[in-house]
Amino acid sequence: MTVRPRKEIHLAAHFPGVNNTTVWADPRAKSQIEFASFEHLARTAERGLFDFFFLAEGLRLREHKGRIHDLDVVGRPESLTVLSALAAVTERLGLAATVNATFNEPYELARRLASLDHLSGGRAAWNVVTSSDAFTGENFRRGGCLDRADLPHSRLRSSGGTPITRAAEFVATARELWDSWTPEGLPRPFAHRGRHFDIAGEFTVPRSPQGHPVVIQAGDSPPGREFAASAADVVFTRHGTLEEGRAFYADVKGRLATYGRAPEDLKIMPGVTFVLGDTVAEAQERAAEIRRRQISPQNAILTLEQIWGVDLSSYDPDGPLPDIDPDPESTMVQGRVRVGDPLAVAEKWRTLSREKGLSIRQTVIEASGRQSFIGTPDTVAAELDEFVRTDAADGFILVPHLTPGGLDEFVDRVVPLLQERGAFRTEYTGTTLRSHLGLAQPVWKG
Amino acid sequence: MTAPHGRALLHLAAALDQQAAYDAASHVELAQLAERGALDFVTLGDSFARPGLDGLGVLSRVAPATGRIGLVPTVTVTHTEPFHVQAAVATLDWVSRGRAGWRIDVSTTEREARLFGRRHASPEPSASLHALWQEAGEVADVAGRLWDSWQDDAEIRDEATGRFIDRDKLHYVDFEGATFSVKGPSIVPRPPQGHPVRVVDATDGPARRIAARYADVALVRVTGPAQARALRDELRHTAAEFGRSPDDLRVLVGLTVDLGDGECAAEPGWRSPLFERSRELGGGGGGSRQSAQGPLYRGGPVDLAELIAAWHGADAADGFHLTPVEPRRDLERLVNGTVALLQHRGLFRTFYPGSTLREHLGLARPANQYAVAGGAS
Ligand SMILES: Cc1cc2nc3c(=O)[nH]c(=O)nc-3n(C[C@H](O)[C@H](O)[C@H](O)COP(=O)(O)O)c2cc1C
């Protein structure tokens, strides 16, 4: 019988985002836009020997009831520019940018990513996302439509395509560009002609230290999973519980063989939250307090409106849930992913409220899910390790609730315990993100 | 602001363009050298056909390694998304704490068009150049609007009402250009300088009106002070026609400098045939454009200081943008020779009194165009 080597955990730091996970109404919460905040979190992650630092992206400010959503953090910098600057103040930490494949073009983005890889000595990663709604499209030349007449040849105009097929061809095209220089440093012309892109010329950047920057994929639909299995190095998922995680893990890893890939060629990293305390009870108390802060009275009504799809501003957050049913066709919420089945969710929440005698706000707090890992540094370290050992994940993208100090405690208290368990590196052994993730250098396809 | 002699302040900038440099270190080193000379800003040319890394990315990498000097990458607007470009420039301003500029340029060649496969270069070059600069003007315009789409005090963090921002202080720009439209607001809060500094090479006709209308710094490549003064007067006049104060525009003479032969080999004084036309490194796209040519100074650093002092004294220019033919060698001589001499004569700053690029240039932080209009979002 062969003994499987101990799986090492991979860790990433997610800069706090623009939803209500991020608690801005805390005296310790600092700027979400000043460079000092990015520098603080990145340096903390590097001190904790993390694999990479991660920035999300949203290309249109969210709206609610036709107006800009004002209850959560709003505003963030452009990812690749911040990461280029962070390359100056970190040495080993991977630097991952979320960049949309619908509202960009392969030549320009491949060039920016290869540039980041050079500027950081091989630490660049690209999280490929595919949001493509017409709402976001209003900020761009391309608009929202993928089958519009902006394709170069009329032959291609009617062929359509989906955000995922465009993203898949986008990534493939980027890889052709990254391969267009020989490893010896000779530029060679490229030509790509496909359904979405018809381009040719010469790439201006030599093959970068990682060969190809690390490709991350965030998405959950079957086509999204297939795309990840065929093309990504890392999957960013929302499946943060043990059962869901295992199912997702088995499903995605099971798709790899079709593409001639081994299970370890693709890392699965759910985005997770954590709360620490000196005792489990204290951690639970802190976790409850954080949830109360995340769900202000205003945010409770808004959360409800996102499900119901109608104006509920006349309801009292400390009163009972609405009797009326949600409008599944509502377009009231723009710029964020809608929940699966509003009618089912509404029914579940009403039941919860009735059974436990909860107000609107209490129901939202109760239903919106606990933080993924709550406990002492010891119990949290043990749980994280269990997730990875039992194939619910290869690692985690940690989403702190405070900017920029939300990772300090984790790095100071949990990382040493993971190291003691032999589940996490005690030093960086390589210089590139690929080496941290244990990924092979991509084979040059001359 | 005036210098001790009652004359307008002298502004100096240098290009960091190197032949095919793909590393961070050489750019950092050059920028630090320029900062030692207290120069207003450094530029980094870029185009999609230029061998080299993304210019804005390189200068973001340089930002934390420098403290005061302005950072001005070229970002082209023909094949890029105006919304992304303004966000990236605003972010450069955030990471550099108010030191960002943006040299606006167009992509003219079919070679560049083929890299994107979305539109063709026009077969008729002069009409095409005109249309491309029209579009560049619209991009400069919408960028200004998007930077203003957040008022400076939009972030309120008001716990009582649970609101992070006052959304009445965020604004849709609803911009409809000839080739693109943008809804807004920006995803990036208003940058530290309000508007990062917009730089346009105003030497060629179609770019000149755009420079007069939108640029904070106009570059002119000319070979004599009379020509420079005429162009500066024209730019200031056109700026006034667009309703701007001419004093909000700095006009810098663009000069390629070769300080390689030292003082003794200098041609006999800058008054004689000292200029020759020569290829400018790193500028423009495709290499075949007339505008990629520039006047060349060849001589010693002391004579260069004389030239700068004389032109500036004759009100021919607000300063100079110098492109060293060999950056490492020439920038060093420029800082230790030319700049030191100008400082010694009290013509150039010896330290940075301000911290933002606008402060170096003596340009006010612009008022927000939406703040005046009131709070209707
Ligand atoms: C964990 C996770 C994180 C995501 N982060 C972003 C993001 O930062 N920006 C964005 O535009 N879309 C983001 N997305 C949206 C995806 O790119 C995609 O549009 C969406 O998941 C729908 O694709 P699917 O049907 O394959 O799930 C994210 C999705 C997931 C699952």
Count of structural domains, chain A: 2
**Domain finish residue from A313, A345, A367:** A367
Residues A114 and A79 in one domain: yes
Q: Is residue A133 part of a domain?
A: yes
B82 CB neighbours in chain A (<8 A) are 141
Q: Are residues A329 and A351 in the same domain?
A: yes
Task: Based on the fold, state whether residues A82 and A132 are members of the same structural domain.
Answer: yes
Out of A323, A340, A367, pick the residue that ends a domain: A367
* A261 and A162 within one domain: yes
- The packing angle between helices B205-214 and B125-148, to 10°, is 10
- CB-based burial, B178-193: b 16+ in 10 Å, e otherwise: eebbbbbbbbbbbbbb
Closest residue by Cα to residue A254 from A229, A232, A234, A235 = A229
pLDDT for the residue numbered B202? 97
Task: Tell me: do A64 and A207 sit in the same domain.
Answer: yes
- Same-domain pairing of A301 and A413: no
Is A115's CB within 8 Å of B50's CB? no
Ligand 1 center–CA A108 separation, angstroms: 22
Same domain, A246 and A152: yes
> Amino acid identity, residue A341?
D
Query: Looking at the domain assignment, is residue A64 inside a domain?
Result: yes
A362 domain residue, yes or no? yes
Cα dihedral B260, B265, B268, B274 sign: negative
Same domain, A354 and A383: no
Q: Which of B20, B155, B131 is nearest to B77 (CA)?
A: B131
Query: Is the minimum distance from the CB of A378 to ligand 1 under 6 angstroms?
Result: no
Is CATH 3.40.50.300 what the domain over B11-360 is classified as, yes or no? Answer: no
Using the Cβ of B63 and the Cβ atoms of chain A, whether some distance falls under 8 Å is answered with yes
The interface pTM score, or ipTM, of the predicted complex is 0.94
Domain, as residue range, for A344? 296-367
* Structure token pair of residue A278: 């000196």
Ligand 1 contact via A148 beta carbon (within 6 Å): no
CA–centroid distance, A218 to ligand 1, in Å, is 5
CA B104 to chain centre: 7
Could you say which DSSP state residue B338 is in?
Answer: I
Token pair recorded at residue A223: 């086509």
Provide the β-strand partners of residue A53: A13, A95
Rg (CA), chain B: 20
Residue A287 inside a domain? The answer is: no
Binding residues of B for FMN: 46, 74
Alpha carbon of A226 to ligand 1 centroid (Å): 15
The finding on whether A106 has its CB within 6 A of some atom of ligand 1 is: no
DSSP 8-state code for residue A1: -
What is the reported pLDDT for B274?
Answer: 39
Are A56 and A176 in a shared domain?
Answer: yes
| Residue of chain B with shortest Cα separation from A37 | B95
Residue B94: the pLDDT is 98
* pLDDT (tens place) for every residue of chain A, 446 residues total: 556 778 999 999 999 999 999 999 999 999 999 999 999 999 999 999 999 999 999 999 999 889 999 999 999 999 999 999 999 999 999 999 999 999 999 999 999 999 999 999 999 999 999 988 899 999 999 774 544 434 333 333 334 578 889 999 999 999 999 999 998 999 999 999 999 999 999 999 999 999 999 999 997 889 999 999 999 999 999 998 999 999 999 999 999 999 999 999 999 999 999 999 999 999 999 999 999 999 999 999 999 998 998 999 999 999 999 999 998 888 777 776 666 788 899 999 999 999 999 999 999 999 888 899 999 999 999 999 999 999 999 999 999 999 999 999 999 999 999 999 999 999 999 999 999 999 999 988 87
Do A403 and A428 sit in the same domain of this protein?
A: yes
Residue that finishes a domain, picked among A367, A402, A420: A367
A22 and A109 both lie in a single domain: yes
Query: What CATH number has the domain bearing residue A228?
Result: 3.20.20.30
CA within 13 Å, CB half, B360: 31
Per-residue pLDDT of chain B (377 residues; tens, 9 = 90+): 444 445 689 999 999 999 889 999 999 999 999 999 999 999 999 999 999 999 999 999 999 999 999 999 999 999 999 999 999 999 999 999 999 999 999 999 999 999 999 887 777 777 799 999 999 999 999 999 999 999 999 999 999 999 999 999 999 999 999 999 999 999 999 999 999 999 999 998 899 999 999 999 999 999 899 999 999 999 999 999 999 999 999 999 999 999 987 654 444 344 433 343 332 322 222 222 233 457 999 999 999 999 999 999 999 999 999 999 999 999 999 999 999 999 999 999 999 999 999 999 999 999 999 997 554 44
What is d(CA A203, CA A186) in angstroms, rounded to the nearest whole number? 11
Query: Nearest Cβ partner of A88 from B22, B65, B114?
Result: B65
A54, A249, A250, A338, A386 from A245: Cα distances, Å: 21, 6, 8, 21, 12
Q: Does A289 map to a domain?
A: no
Element (H, E) at B114: helix B110-116
Nearest CA owner, ligand 1 atom 28: A218
Using a CB-CB distance cutoff of 8 angstroms, which residues of chain A are in contact with residue B94? Answer: 33-35, 77, 82
Spatial CA neighbour of A285 closest among A368, A407, A370: A370
Give the pLDDT confidence score for residue A220 in this predicted structure: 85
Same domain? A415 vs A342: no
